[in-house]
Structure 1
Amino acid sequence: MMRSQTPFSRLPALLALVLVFVVSLAAPSLAASIGQQFRAWLESDLWPAAKTNGVSRQTFDAAFDGVSPNLKLPDLVLPGQKPTTPKAQHQAEFRSPAVYFAENTVRGVTAGGRSRAGKHRQTLAAIEKRYGVPAGIILAIWGRESAFGRAKIPHDAFEVLGTKAFLSTRKDMFRVEVLSALVMAERGRISPRAMKSSWAGALGQPQFLPSSYLKHAADGDGDGRIDIWSSEADTLASIASYLRNHGWVTGRDWGFEVTVPDGVSCALEGPDRGRNISDWAAMGIERVGGRPFPDHEARGVGYLMMPAGRHGPAFIVTPNFYVLKEYNESDVYALFVGHAADRISYGDKGFSGSWGKVGGLDRSDISAMQRGLERLGHDVGGADGLAGFKTRRSIGKWQENNGLKPTCFPDAALVRALR
């Protein structure tokens, strides 16, 4: 027989309702408190620094007029909290490579790049002559960053940069960026409210952070202004200027897809383990399709790069690959740009190798695995939850040391064994 419900049996449900009510009341209060702290920080901390950088009071007040912290942005540490590794990965470049290289995404960039290569032929030729960066590379970055200027960039830059300089896990970095944005406004490059950004604070069609704009933005159309928001020529020149200033080597490729024999360890990966490409070839690493490496490339230094370990395509990359990583600190981003540039310039052909079923782990899981490797003396490049080359090759070395076939990529079994 079913018992009648007593007041005590309803207690958990009542407590839950009370908790929801209390949290709903507390949220506006917390936001108001943080808003007051933000305003105090602007006045006592950021304004003196801005003034030292030549920013007028008028510009500063206009930039932050009506601006309050955006607590929905990722990677924030609220007052009284401690930083933690986020469970979710907000940045596409650090998710599964198979998703990042979805054919419809790649074709959107390559088709758009080819159509714009003709439209901007003269401009691109002049930019390549000036900066030494191939047109395909410039177009691939433009397409990836902002869909050739068509992507929506909805955020108020001062809201994003101000919030992150006040509350993010990388306050020092964003402090530099918000001060640079104020300098941009002071110099009349763009009005504060028109300065729209991504959720990470990147501006315009090339998605420059403000400090990059001040250092690398270039006038591509000769009108004496640098407008990366509406001028396509300025956007193209600015991308090329950025790469040249970061060390682009004219005349060298970005890299080549290769086959890596089982006898060559995937733990040899990394920009600190370079050797002449001819030496990699002598180890049995071959360019896909059987073509030899160009003579001038064979004599130059190259690096093994396996972004999914043994679960995906492998590459021998040149120093220019790591220049592309200066634009976005991600192996798959640099690979996407190089691959798309090849398809823009030479025809729409995909990778020979395929991406395995990798990904699906939370950043917090990978971070726990990284800490386990660190305890064993491995250099994983920091327990940040991102499987960079130091983490991948540390996994490979651990697998070799434990009699396992090295894959050089995290999976659930590794997380369980190492956390």
Structure 2
Amino acid sequence: MRLRLRLLLIVSVAACAPMLPEPPPLPVLVGQPQTPAAAAPVARPAQAQAQVPAPAARDAVDFDTWKAGFLARHGGDRRAAYAAQLEGLTPDTTVIRLDGNQPEFSRPPGAYIQNAVSAARVAEARRRTDAVPWEVTRRFGVPAEILVAIWAQESSFGRVQGDMDVIRSLATLAWEGRRRDWAEGQLKHALDIVIDGRRDRAGLKGSWAGAMGQTQFMPDNYLRLGIDQDGDGQVDIWGSQADALASAANLLANAGWKRGQTWGYEVILPAGFDYAEAEGPRHPWSFWAGRGVRLAGGDAPTEAEAAEGAAILLPQGAGGPAFLALPNHYVIRAYNNSVSYALAIGLTADGIKGKPPLVAAWPDDAPLSREQRIGAQRALTALGFDTRGIDGVVGANTRAALRRWQTVEGRTPDGYLSATLADELITLVP
């Protein structure tokens, strides 16, 4: 029984990994496809290098070549110290496999969110809100329920923090190349943590993506935003609940958390709603109310919330729940740049506060394989609807491209890539 519980915890939280911010979505050109030739060139430091040989085609010499290049690019006066930490290191193929199958993008949003916002998790989170020091919520303005929701999702309240060598994981991601610039930057920070004596190498453990501790901080955020809340002279996000939760609050506050406002609301869309407006420009509540949108629970946004720019989100298309995303939704995405992740955190926090469940039901859609995600992106781009990267990550740019294709094809432009639609797109190109 204990083994089964641990496996469930690993499945539900260990795959959490930081989502990199994407460039802004391309503008919606109703009735006109955006061709690759017409699109302006976009620098994609994290995701442009998607065309990387499969891990099986790599070898140790190649990895050593990458290490030499990394030390030349980033070593500086610490080159010898970095080289000592990288000595004898080999790539971890598990890291590459997991990088291509992040659940935020492979599982349907409803399946991901329902697993994250289970009744058992919400009940435990409610019992643990007292773990958030009062002075943390007062100082940073982030509600305890949001912090506890992150704590639950990232590590099951500290129980599953990841036991992988952070330096090896980040070196593997940098060598593999899909997010090389980002991974090399994180690796440098991780090496600095060890060399500066902030954490010994044996204790620098985390997820396959290099996220560390009870609230799964990346090395750069640990160095910039880590808080020694318990006052023992160390930022210990692994062993100190207070340090981990205060550090998470500091990250959200620095990302622009708006005090006294929620993350968003479930909404009911009127018949004839223009789905092309979803996930587009943000407007005040008066704009959406004027188009017949209403809050599902019969609530009303506060005066401050009503004045904020908000977007309509359709995480599982026109057939699933719809949400009004306020600024704090996007602040949560500074923690993990995934719509599914941010909704899971917000809805868990709502459950902690005792808000009723969603009115709309989630469709029971099949998951998307990596081949389907890449195939759909390749097809859309070949058809003239540039996804700005063929990397298997179905983010805002892929959804925007799909929405343009749906508009041209006379379909409901909800931007939702189902497994069925991915298969159809793949058949449209050689």
How high is the TM-score relative to the length of structure 2? 0.79
Q: Which aligned pairs between 1:311-322 and structure 2 lie closer than 5 A?
A: 311-322=319-330
> CA offset at residue 74 of structure 1?
1.9
Confirm or deny that 1:55 pairs with 2:66: no
The aligned counterpart of 2:101 is 90
- The answer to whether residue 318 in structure 2 is matched with residue 310 in structure 1 is yes
The within-5 A match list for 1:270-419 is 270=279, 272-344=280-352, 346-347=353-354, 349-411=356-418, 412-413=420-421, 415-417=423-425, 418-419=428-429
Q: Given the superposition, is the C-alpha separation of residues 41 and 390 from structure 1 closer, same or farther in structure 2, using an over 3 Å criterion?
A: closer
1:45 corresponds, among 69, 72, 77, to 69
**Cα displacement (A) at 1:166:** 1.8
Do the aligned residues in 2 keep the contact of 1:267 with 1:394 (CA within 8 Å)?
no
1:161-240 residue pairs with structure 2 within 5 A?
Answer: 161-240=170-249
The AA in structure 1 aligned to 2:314 is M
Larger relative helix fraction: 1
**How far, CA to CA, are the matches of 2:103 and 2:58 in structure 1?**
33
* 1:109 CA displacement: 3.3
Q: Residues 403 and 60 of structure 1: is their aligned pair in 2 closer, same or farther, counting only changes over 3 Å?
A: closer
CA distance in 1, matches of 2:74, 2:399: 41
- 2: CA distance between counterparts of 1:221 and 1:307? 39
**2:312, 2:323 within 8 Å by CA — same for their partners in 1?**
yes
Sequence identity of aligned pairs in percent? 35
- Which of 90, 95, 104 is the aligned partner of 1:68? 90
Other structure's SS at 1:358 match: coil
Q: Which has the higher contact order (CA 8 A, sep 6+)?
A: 2
Distance 2:375 2:79 in 1: 47
CA shift, 1:255, in A, is 0.4
Q: Assess, with a 3 A threshold, how the Cα gap between structure 1 residues 103 and 207 changes in structure 2: closer, same or farther.
A: closer
Amino acid aligned to 1:107: A
| Structure 2 counterpart of 1:106 | 118
Bigger drift between 95-104 and 244-253 goes to 95-104
CA distance in 2, matches of 1:127, 1:184: 25
Q: Distance in 2 between matches of 1:413 and 1:59?
A: 47
State the shift of 1:366 in Å: 3.1
Root-mean-square deviation (CA, aligned residues, Å) is 2.7
- Unmatched 5+ residue regions in structure 2? 1-54
2:236–2:243 CA contact under 8 A, matched in 1: yes
C-alpha deviation, 1:48, in angstroms: 4.3
**Whole-Å separation in 2 of the counterparts to 1:31 and 1:356:** 37
